[in-house]
Amino acid sequence: MSVDQPLLEVRDLRVSFRIDKKTSFEAVKGISFSLPKNATVALVGESGSGKSVSSLAVMGLLPAETTIMHEGSSIRFDGRELLGQSIEARRKLCGKDIAMIFQEPMSSLNPVFTVGFQIGEVLRQHLGMDGRQARARTLELLDEVGIPDPAAKIDAYPSQMSGGQQQRVMIAMAIACEPRLLIADEPTTALDVTIQKQIMELIARLQKKHQMSVLFITHDLGLVGEIADRVIVMRHGEVREEGPASQVLGQPADAYTRALLHCRPKLDERPVRLPVIDDYLSGRHSAGIVLPQRARGYAPGEDNVLEVRGLAKSFYLREGLFGKREFKAVKDVSFTLPRGKTLGVVGESGSGKTTVGLTLLRLHRATGGSALFEGRDLLAMSDREYQAYKRRIQIIFQNPYASLNPRFTVGQILLEPMRIHRIGANDAERVEHAYYLLKRVGLPEQAFHRYPHEFSGGQRQRIAIARCLTMKPEILVCDESVSALDVSVQAQVLNLLQDLQDEYKMSYIFISHDLSVVKYISDRVMVMHHGSVVEMADSDELYRNPQHPYTQTLLAAIPRGA
């Protein structure tokens, strides 16, 4: 291999998937790029852009029975052509010289084996180590990726570790054989901002130590600016722009790249409406336009729709044969929520923020405190009394894939709560209202007869919002409701939530680990740590002048590369 020859070279890669005997879908349409030695190249784009398909093609992990690799496509690693190699040859290469970190560690790690066994399996398979050698090397790897107390964690199962620790285990598996190319497919998407920063610093440190090349796949341009040497922007299976990171992020030439950069909420701006992809591609917006700004914050004397005092929630864990141990997930949380305002709740995983939301909806039973809604304590009501309040306080869950019944059509999903709560005089009136709500959330009437699996993630989240609106709630708990969405879809959903709040005067409890989004949509922000509230202030004041060290740490971890 010559000095100037790239480690990875992709030329005219075209990948299609068979839908049926006569139909196929072209997911990647003739893309070309190269990855130099000891460099980081970022593949950026929305869901469906083809970036993950391209990386799986490099790894040889696309399903052979449904994948069409078009003639003329080429993937060369270290000067060797990978396409056309036998399965055995690709298997020897992938895991040893080329390794991959997947997006969701919990679905990538085997839940029935310990993490030590799974890392050791890589060492036994590719390096021929025996059990004792593999265990010793596994302990070194766990220590290298920053897992605390490796001697104890080596025998833990994935479910016994946090999301950040699971991702560190995936990284340990990937670097076990000191690969020359590391592919990281959205490795930090579902992680807290502080854990995300730790993972990015870990990958950068390991890259430097092991002299690896990194192909980093993401939709977060803020993250890209901190780690990539070059950026490749993809859309609909094609490369829209490519160049040095400083050039692509600082002076983007393509309208789609400019749109991606400006759709994401910024810490120093709060436009009345977030621009979306189509605004830039259609010419309705340009990068230099000054957008009208929205004021935020609580005002004195506002009508509080909810007043929470001393909320507490404990879980009891079995310990020994007859004993149990108390775990205090929420400790003495108090706040007010005025009508038509948004309270942002931030904190890392395990901080108790989701437990607060679920306890207010009585999906967990509180162990202390009160939640006064129009002067009545929601937590002290009997189940029969609470029935009348159920429709007035609703929740949008994080994962629209899991919160919609796959066996119901969208119409059935929308009609069911209206029938249960006797909203509407008859089914004809309910169907008419369902059609109105679909239109209100930006979906066509035809969606009424389709199933959830026929929609994208952003469209499913719109269906979940429409389902909440069937009951005309006064309080909406948004639990990480935009965290898994692309930046453009996220902007659309945030605009929708704001429009609905403006129209119906709904109050939101917006739970998220994305601090840029929280600042954009929140009037007041409550910071939680280990179940307690450590700081609470109007959003502009808290971001401008954070008082608590933990809040300062969270804000310092926000990616600012784009």
Which ranges in the chain are annotated with CATH 3.40.50.300?
Answer: 1-97+181-192+211-251, 341-365+383-556
| Alpha-carbon dihedral sign for residues 446, 487, 181, 173 | negative
Q: Say which CATH topology domain 341-365+383-556 has.
A: Rossmann fold (3.40.50)
Mind giving me the DSSP string for 417-443? HHHHTT-SSSHHHHHHHHHHHHHHTT-
As beta bridge partners, residue 315 has 327
CA-to-CA separations, 385 to 43, 247, 376, 379, 382, in angstroms, rounded: 53, 61, 11, 11, 5
Ramachandran assignment for 48, one of left (phi > 0), alpha (psi -120 to 50 degrees), beta (any other): left
> How high is the mean pLDDT of the chain?
89
Tokens of 128: 């021929």
Tokens of 389: 């309040």
Instruction: Judge contact between 350 and 550, C-beta under 8 A.
Output: no
Q: What percent of the chain has pLDDT over 70?
A: 97
Where b means 16+ CB within 10 Å and e means fewer, 308-323 reads: beebbbeeeeeeeeee
Residue 103 CA to residue 47 CA, distance in Å, equals 13
Instruction: Write down the architecture of domain 1-97+181-192+211-251 according to CATH.
Output: 3-Layer(aba) Sandwich (3.40)
For the stretch 406-432, pLDDT in tens is 999 999 999 999 999 889 889 999 999
Is 70 exceeded by the pLDDT of residue 1?
no
For the stretch 225-253, pLDDT in tens is 888 999 999 999 999 999 999 999 989 99
Instruction: Judge contact between 74 and 120, C-beta under 8 A.
Output: no
In sequence order, the 6+-apart residues with CB closer than 8 A to the CB of 350 are 162, 530
For the stretch 68-113, pLDDT in tens is 888 899 999 999 999 989 888 888 888 889 999 987 777 789 999 9
CA-to-CA separations, 121 to 84, 108, 285, 430, 561, in angstroms, rounded: 27, 14, 53, 56, 37
DSSP 21: S
Residue whose entry in the numeric block shows the structure tokens 């998220």: 512
Which of 17-21, 44-48, 390-394, 523-527 is most confident?
Answer: 523-527
Residue 505 CA to residue 383 CA, distance in Å, equals 27
Q: State the average pLDDT over residues 372-397.
A: 91
Q: Where are the alpha helices (DSSP H) in 251-396?
A: 255-263, 277-281, 353-360, 383-390
Q: What's 466-483 look like in SS3?
A: HHHHCCCCCEEEEECCCC
Residue 150 CA to residue 381 CA, distance in Å, equals 47
Q: State the average pLDDT over residues 493-520.
A: 91
Tell me how many degrees the CA angle 462-18-54 measures, rounded to the nearest 5.
75
**The model's pTM:** 0.82
At 369 the pLDDT is 96
For the stretch 435-478, pLDDT in tens is 999 988 888 899 999 999 888 777 888 899 899 989 889 999 99
Residue 385: HSE in the Cβ half-sphere, 13 Å Cα cutoff? 8
As beta bridge partners, residue 388 has none
At 147 the pLDDT is 87
Is 70 exceeded by the pLDDT of residue 197?
yes
Length of the chain, please?
Answer: 562
Is 60 exceeded by the pLDDT of residue 405?
yes
Residue 159 buriedness (CB in 10 A; 0-12 / 13-18 / 19+): exposed
For the stretch 15-24, pLDDT in tens is 999 988 888 8
Residue 363 CA to residue 306 CA, distance in Å, equals 17
At 2 the pLDDT is 44
Where b means 16+ CB within 10 Å and e means fewer, 395-432 reads: bbbbbbeebbeeeebbbebbbebbeebebbeeeeebbe
Is 70 exceeded by the pLDDT of residue 255?
yes
| Alpha-carbon dihedral sign for residues 121, 127, 132, 135 | negative
Position 4 confidence tier, pLDDT thresholds 50, 70, 90: low
| Alpha-carbon dihedral sign for residues 302, 307, 309, 314 | negative
At 259 the pLDDT is 86
